[in-house]
Amino acid sequence: MKQIRLTGILLAVLLAVAFTACEKEGPAGPSGPQGEQGAAGPKGDKGDPGATGPRGETGATGPRGATGATGATGPRGATGPKGDKGDPGTANVVSSGWIEYEINSTPNTPTHKTMKYTFPANVLDLVNAEHIAGFLSSGGLLVLYGKNFGNGQHNMLPYTYSNVDYTWSGGSFGVSTINSILIRIVSTDGTALTEYDYAGFRGNEFRYVLIPAGVEVSGRLATDIDWSRISYAEAAQLLDLKN
């Protein structure tokens, strides 16, 4: 009887030891493959916006940036309306239209042509003069401009265009009855002149401006202005020349 009980106890002890040994954790096995990803669930409802946070303090002003490069000049604007005409001077400025050259005096050679021009009485009446000599001797001013074939410029006499000199003279203005001037067209190199140098129908023309003594132009006496230094376009604007 005792033997059977000892045998049972021994068996119980062996079972306990075996059970304990089985409970001891063995080494971890390798990870198994990742399973397939499940389908995405439905998108949740949008949450309510949160409350606006308080406004932060204004930061300090940063330093001024460098000045950029100047941009290109824009196109010129349209010309504004013409201003009112100023007050007249002490006498009127008188100008002629363009007059064709007419070779009608001497010398008249292949290299030297001359035109005599007599001022009309009605023109001299406008500047209170009987003769051009008296007009000039009383302080009046006579300015002549010329233009030529093939040249769009207008030049104050005397001037040279190509190989030709264009000048004018009045003889002796000490004679108060002189009422004409001479316009001379002279070759500068001895080459014979052609109609393109002196013929009126070829576009060789002149015009004159009579400016009485005492007339002011832009705040100055006209007789104090060096007209030879002023372009024709400037003179036309100052003297209101129409063509």
- For the chain, the average pLDDT equals 79
Q: How confident is the model at residue 175 (pLDDT cuts 50, 70, 90)?
A: low
Tell me if 103 sits within 8 A of 110, measured CB to CB.
Answer: no
Q: Is omega for the bond preceding 107 within 30 degrees of 0, making it cis?
A: yes
pLDDT of res. 13: 47
Give the pLDDT band (50/70/90) at residue 89: very low
3-state secondary structure of 104: coil
- For residue 83, pLDDT beyond 70: no
**How many CB atoms within 10 Å of residue 93?**
21
pLDDT (mean) for 30-37? 69
Q: Is the pLDDT confidence value at 232 over 80?
A: yes
**Rounded Cα gap, residues 142 and 226, in angstroms:** 12
How far apart, in whole angstroms, are the C-alpha atoms of residue 89 and residue 143? 18
Mean pLDDT calculated for residue range 105-118: 96
In the predicted structure, residue 85 carries a pLDDT above the cut 60:
no
Q: Does the pLDDT at position 174 exceed 50? A: yes
